[in-house]
Homo-oligomer: A and B are copies of this chain.
Amino acid sequence: MGDIVAKRASYDKLFTSGKRRNVLYIPRRTVYIMRFTPEVSFTMSEAKENVLDPIVSLCKRRGFIYQSSEVYGGFAGFWDYGPMGCELKNNIKAAWWQHTVRLREDVAGLDASIIMHPAIWKASGHLDTFADPMCMCRACKKLMRADQAWDIFDESAIAEALAAFIADGRTDAGKVATWCKSRGKSLAPNLPAVAQAETRLPEIFEQIKLCGSARAVFELLASPEPRPCPYCGGGMTEPRPFNMMFKTIVGPIEDPANAAYLRPETAQAIFAQFQNILATSRQQVPFGVAQIGKSFRNEITPRNYTFRSREFEQMELEFFIKPDEAIELIHGKVITLADSPDLSGDPQPAWGWEVWHKYWVEQRKQWLVNVVGLPENSFVEYWQTAEELAHYARACVDIQYAFPFGVQELEGIAARSDFDLTQHQEHSKKPMEVFDEALKLACKPMDAMARDAFTQKVVADWTSRGKDAEKARAFVANLFEGKYIPHVIEPSAGVDRLALALLCNAYAEETVTDEKGNSEVRTVLRFSPKVAPIKVAVFPLVKNKPELYGRAREIFKQLQRRWNCFWDESGAIGRRYRRQDEVGTPFCVTVDFQTLDDGTVTLRGRDSMKQERISVDALVAKLDEALL
């Protein structure tokens, strides 16, 4: 045990030095760490296999997730949700909609088309910059994503083998070279690269001595200059941008002028329809617009199960707020985080963007924990550094979950300033401004001197942030008229990756003892009741007693009106429990002979596995408590 933990610590040190978004990581839950032998505990692919495989297998076996088009050999980057999976996804989406739209008065919904006018993607920047760097091998003509080309290289095998060398104190170049040669095929599909590595062994061992790290060796192997093709060792072209939007032609004429795109995010429709929604929903800034829907990205290398796929579903909120300068004019002072505002109560009119941003981070975390049941210690709140932020963004928080294949972004909460609406105003030539009565009134009594002082303050602030003084002046002049383009806070979540996180979090294998004292492994999905595909399963103890059976059917029908229920009449009760455990059903109700006598049933909880007798009359209220 002690060894394992130590091993993990050093692994953490070694492997978290990578780029933030590609950090390799072992999930912190002891149940999985226990499974690693010391030798493989720091090889990620191995961990992935160990941890994700049983989940993938359960998902297939119990109808959560299938490969798209499986009978035709599958289709990379596309997945289908089976009977259990679509209930899980529906529950996630319904819970998000309920909390983000229906339970709030300051958020309106939108359901826009996936294919929109291509000018939207010009304005948003996607047409010009939503691209991955691609290179091609001049020899074998294979196309690869430049920054991922070497991912096919079997990192784990090399790391494992070299770690063994180091552990044994063996640093003899000749032996490593022989070993590389003999294991060449299993190391990678790219023998030439291994061969090349062989010629660079002195260099490699310098590194190994320096940091004692297999990772360093791998990085050397992975970044030769010039980098050869990982398949054939040939020379590669310079990386060129490849746009990730799926393109199609709308209308009958095959002409580039008729090109349109599948949306790569749902957010842009919200910006494009901002004025329509403002005019028709009786909302005023601050308010938000929420949308759930499919988005598409032509990922060059879709991977990590459903995590990075080419078709996925998003839940995005654009929450529009007043610019801080407008708040200052109206309220005299902008409330910032330094004022320690109470984020748990109702939002306040004088909150600045910083407080709104933090408010939404907290809202999203609370939803993850309290509604869909992701434990608070299972995710990390990562604040992007100034260098990582997009040029228009003021702040961005990634909520990262420790997936079996690494810590990855579950959702992001970005403060995007007025960038998007301004872009659409410029490109569509339609105003995206709002008129703010309170602002106009607040500015009315200001004399020329006050206006001048305010203008100079804003200009100084803007120019200190590298922004244009002329623009600052025009912005302030507009403010004095009561007009501005709202800023936006964007909490953006992925349905599929949240579903995957919930599956990973819920999955457990436990050794339990059955009634006869035999121990067995039970597989259980510990879903929060809110997202569980089935809420209640109803079992008649036996099926050959019409009275008992009929009573069970009555109870089933009664519960079915309110919740998604499952009827199971076959096999021993214990086996029926296990089937429900496997799909995460929180409650099972068994109707037996005693039911006919005293009107009670057995209610069995998934997690405690405890059974209690409860009267049928009290059943609905009891379940309601847990499920509402």
Contact = CB atoms under 8 A, between A and B. Distances in A.
A85 B111 contact: yes
A253 B269 CA distance: 28
B117 A75 contact: yes
Interface residues of A, number: 81
Nearest to A109: B86
Given A115-B310, A117-B68, A90 B82 contact: no
A488 interface: no
Q: Which of A108, A252, A561, A568: most chain B Cβ within 10 A?
A: A252
A60 B280 contact: yes
Interface stretch (A203-211, A294-302, A375-383, A611-619): A294-302
B85 A117 contact: no
Contacts of A78: 113, 115-116
A578 to B, nearest CB: 13
The 8 A-B pairs of least Cβ separation, nearest first, read A69-B117, A63-B280, A86-B111, A83-B108, A80-B112, A71-B428, A81-B111, A78-B113
A311 interface: yes
Given A75-B117, A253-B143, A109 B80 contact: no
A80 B269 CA distance: 9
Interface in A241-264: 242, 246-253, 260, 262
Interface in A550-569: 560-561, 564, 567-568
Contact of A247 (B80, B249, B310, B427): B249
A248 B277 CA distance: 31
B103 A252 contact: no
B81 A117 contact: no
Contacts of A625: none
A426 to B, nearest CB: 11
A67 to B, nearest CB: 9
B252 A298 contact: yes
A225 B163 CA distance: 82
A82 B116 CA distance: 15
A69 B119 contact: yes
Contacts of A481: none
Interface in A481-509: none
A97 interface: yes
A273 B73 CA distance: 12
Contacts of A62: 280
A65 to B, nearest CB: 10
A320 to B, nearest CB: 14
A581 to B, nearest CB: 15
A134 interface: yes
Given A81-B112, A87-B109, A110-B83, A117 B248 contact: no
A58 to B, nearest CB: 10
Contacts of A427: 72
Contacts of A61: 280
A424 interface: yes
A168 interface: no
A371 B249 CA distance: 39
Contacts of A430: 71
A98 to B, nearest CB: 9
Given A72-B120, A77-B250, A103 B298 contact: no
B70 A105 contact: no
A71 B424 CA distance: 9
Given A63-B277, A66-B273, A115 B85 contact: no
B251 A248 contact: no
A97 B89 CA distance: 14
B262 A80 contact: no
Contacts of A260: 75
Contacts of A66: 273, 276
Contact of A117 (B72, B108, B250): B72
A591 interface: no
A627 to B, nearest CB: 13
B272 A72 contact: yes
A275 interface: yes
Given A63-B281, A82-B276, A280-B82, A560 B117 contact: no
A207 to B, nearest CB: 33
A74 interface: yes
A114 interface: yes
B250 A69 contact: no
B105 A69 contact: no
Nearest to A271: B71
A543 interface: no
A231 interface: no
A41 to B, nearest CB: 33
Nearest to A562: B628
B250 A248 contact: no
A403 interface: no
Given A103-B561, A248-B262, A561-B628, 13 more contacts: A68-B116, A68-B269, A69-B272, A70-B276, A72-B119, A72-B120, A75-B117, A79-B113, A80-B111, A80-B269, A87-B109, A90-B97, A115-B311
A556 to B, nearest CB: 9
A351 to B, nearest CB: 21
B113 A89 contact: no
A102 interface: yes
A311 B277 contact: no
A100 B108 CA distance: 28
A69 B87 CA distance: 32
Nearest to A145: B252
A114 B277 contact: no
